[in-house]
Amino acid sequence: MKRYFLKAPFFIKFIVVNSYGFILRQKRYNKQFYQYLDQYKRNDKTEVFSFDFKALKKQIKENKFYVENDKTIEKYPIINKQIIKEHYDEIINKKEVHGYLHTSGTTGSGLKYPISKEFINHQWAIFWKFRNLHGITLDTWCANIISQTLFSVEQNRPPYWIKSYPTRQLLLSQYHIRKDTVKLYLDAIHKNRIIWLHAFPSVLNLLANLIKDAGLLSEAKALHLKIITTSSEKLFDHQKKNIEDVFDCKVREFYGQVEGVANMFECEKGTLHIDESYSYVELVPTDNIDECKIVGTSYHNKSFPLVRYDTGDTCILYPNEFTCKCGRKSRVVKEILGRDDDYLLLTNGTKIGRISSIFKSLWAVKEAQIIQDKVGSAEFRIVKDATYSYQDEEKLKEQIKERLGNDFEFEIIYPDHIERTKSGKLKFVINKVNKNNDK
Ligand SMILES: [Zn+2]
């Protein structure tokens, strides 16, 4: 199917994308959706951290995997992707399956995740609660730079985008953004008078860098974007700053995962809040003092209920006395750190996480990736910008030594670009020794 699509002429693609968009719109935005959206918006300012036992009971009723009679959630063990894969047939409730979502998994552990009908409506309602509070409505057109393949890699003539009228999106291919096409992308967004841009942080950062290199800053600002949203990848500070500077527009972050067990959104004041009524989110302490695992229980997926599911992501908390000026009563999170397997291993067995801090204040680094093949050493891949100098390299070396110690062996290499994963993401740390050491 995909192969035929890629070979098809543009007008056929246009028809396919718009027909599919029509179906998606029907599925996502039905009566239930509007009801849930209303509910979430009403609860937004008052919801607090609480456990809805009734909601959980409904999910796990007659489920073969969970024991229903435990009233305290702490009696359930924390599970992860590996465990749910092993017990897939016990957890699934085939009567309730309405479709499947695919999780890619960073270590190649993909999963076909069953979803119920109400799951889809709840998930879209919670997305739109976030968008509504930043002034985006269902009528707002979105320039959405997507990781799905719309055109073959060899295509070297525009258009690199397709307009989807039912979903009100200008779908732009992330794989065709290059030095010689960047202006075409800006023109397409400008011609369609779109004021909302959405993409992975790494894609927006790449776009921002190409705009700077091509001297198109005034064109970027002339788009008069009102909002830029990101999801699906960690948003690094340097990326946020870069993107906001280039487009002269705020970047707002949304955190969620395919499994839908924990959602967080950035409020008007720029603080990340937990969507407390969407699911039950636990922030479980780790060995690092202020760092927590994000563990969640879904209230809305009878077809594959997840109770105390470890998302594999971690976050940092604010000091206790912090309250957000927006007035919401929900819990807040200072920063989402991303995957907990983003660490490097020292020879003495220590795991060092939060490695991104090495790159703080190194503004001449466009993109970075760290690859660890063996314990105690790693390769740092850096895509430099034009201003990157000898001093930057010295500073980087210093910061690596400071974080990882003097015995840590490393090599810095400077490729022109960094390979993306199959799902189009930029993986910051690739640790090839993880598995062997975890066992
Ligand atoms: Zn707030």
Burial (CB < 10 A; 0-12, 13-18, 19+), residue 40, is buried
Q: What is the pLDDT of residues 185-204, one digit of tens each?
A: 999 999 999 999 999 999 99
Distance between first and last Cα of the chain:
40
Rg of the chain (C-alpha set): 22
Alpha carbon of residue 251 to chain centroid: 14
**Ligand 1 centroid vs 48 CA: distance in angstroms?**
13
Q: How far is the CA of 56 from the centre of ligand 1 (A)?
A: 27
For 86, phi and psi rounded to 5 degrees?
A: -70, -30
- How distant, in Å, are the alpha carbons of 238, 337, 340, 345 from that of 360? 7, 14, 19, 21
**DSSP string covering 348-409:** TS-EE--GGGGGTT-TTEEEEEEEEEETTEEEEEEEE-TT--HHHHHHHHHHHHHHH-TT-E
For residue 329, report the distance from its CA to the centre of ligand 1, in Å.
9
Q: How far is the CA of 328 from the centre of ligand 1 (A)?
A: 6
143 CB-contact burial (10 Å; exposed 0-12 / middle 13-18 / buried 19+): buried
Q: What is the DSSP string of 99-129?
A: EEEEE--TTS--EEEEE-HHHHHHHHHHHHH
Beta-carbon contacts of residue 345 (< 8 Å; ≥ 6 apart)? 351, 352, 372, 375, 376, 431, 433, 434, 437
Q: Calculate how far, in angstroms, residue 15's C-alpha sits from the geometric centre of ligand 1.
A: 42
Q: What is the number of other CB atoms lying within 10 angstroms of the CB of residue 116?
A: 22
Q: Superfamily assignment of 344-438 in CATH?
A: ANL, C-terminal domain (3.30.300.30)
How far apart are the CA of 333 and the centre of ligand 1, in A? 10
CA of 193 to the centre of ligand 1 (A): 30
Task: With a cut of 70, list the residues of the chain below it in pLDDT.
Answer: 69-70, 104-110, 340-341, 434-439
Instruction: Compute the distance from residue 282 Cα to the ligand 1 centre, in Å.
Output: 19
Query: 209 CA distance to ligand 1 centroid (A)?
Result: 30
Q: For 152, what's the count of Cα atoms within 13 Å in the CB-facing half-sphere?
A: 11
- In this structure, the strands spanning 291-298 and 169-173 are unpaired
Q: Looking at this protein, which amino acid is placed at residue 168?
A: R
From the number of C-beta atoms within 10 Å of its C-beta (0-12, 13-18, 19+), residue 398 rates as exposed
CA of 289 to the centre of ligand 1 (A): 24
* Spacing of C-alpha 129 from chain mean position: 17
Taking the C-alpha atoms of residue 160 and residue 167, their distance in angstroms, rounded to an integer, is: 18
3-class SS letters over 39-91: HHHHHCCCCCCCCCHHHHHHHHCCCCCCCCCCCCHHHCCCECHHHHHHCHHHH
The CA-based diameter of the chain, rounded to the nearest angstrom, is 64
Distances (CA, A) of 115 to 29, 61, 186, 279: 16, 16, 37, 15
Residue from 308, 282, 410 nearest 358 by CA: 410
Q: How many residues does the chain have?
A: 439
Cα(330) to centroid(ligand 1), Å? 9
Compute, in angstroms, the gap from residue 323 CA to the centroid of ligand 1: 8
pLDDT of residue 108: 47
Please list all protein residues whose beta carbon sits less than 5 angstroms from ligand 1, which is an ion: 267, 269, 271, 324, 326
Q: Cα of 136 to ligand 1 centre, how many Å? A: 18
- Ligand 1 center–CA 424 separation, angstroms: 31
Span from the CA of 145 to the centroid of ligand 1 (angstroms): 27
Of 251, 252, 258, 185, the residue nearest 219 (C-alpha): 185
Enter the CATH code of domain 2-337: 3.40.50.12780
How many angstroms does the Cα of residue 228 sit away from the middle of ligand 1?
18
Residue type, 329: K
Q: Domain extents for the chain?
A: 2-337, 344-438
